Structure 1
Amino acid sequence: MKKAFFKALAKLNKVLLPSFTKQRLDVSKAKKWQLAIIGWRAYVTKNALD
């Protein structure tokens, strides 16, 4: 059930949140809110794959 929740959340993130890799964002120059989104997306992706 946890994995299904994170898979659904990952699909929702893909639609709602911006993709910084497509924008070629340099992580060393990213703002705090951009780093927070990157971290959140990584956390959700990690849990969806486990």
Structure 2
Amino acid sequence: MKKKAFKLLAKMNKMVLPSFTKQGLDLSKASKLQMAVFGWKLYVTKNALD
């Protein structure tokens, strides 16, 4: 059940949140909001793959 929820969240993230890798964002110059979004997407993706 948990994995299905994270897979659904990952699909929603892909549709709603921006892709910083496609934008070529340098993480050392990212704002706190950008880092928070990046961390959230990383957390969801990690849990969806487990």
Question: When the two structures are superposed, what TM-score results if normalisation uses the length of structure 1?
Answer: 0.99
Distance in structure 1 (CA, Å) of the matches to 2:23 and 2:42: 17
- Give the total of aligned pairs: 50
- Which ranges in structure 2 are unaligned for 5 or more consecutive residues? none
- Which ranges in structure 1 are unaligned for 5 or more consecutive residues? none
Distance in structure 2 (CA, Å) of the matches to 1:41 and 1:17: 9
Structure with bigger helix share is: 2
Distance in structure 2 (CA, Å) of the matches to 1:46 and 1:22: 19
Q: What is the RMSD computed on CA atoms of the aligned residues?
A: 0.2
Question: When the two structures are superposed, what TM-score results if normalisation uses the length of structure 2?
Answer: 0.99
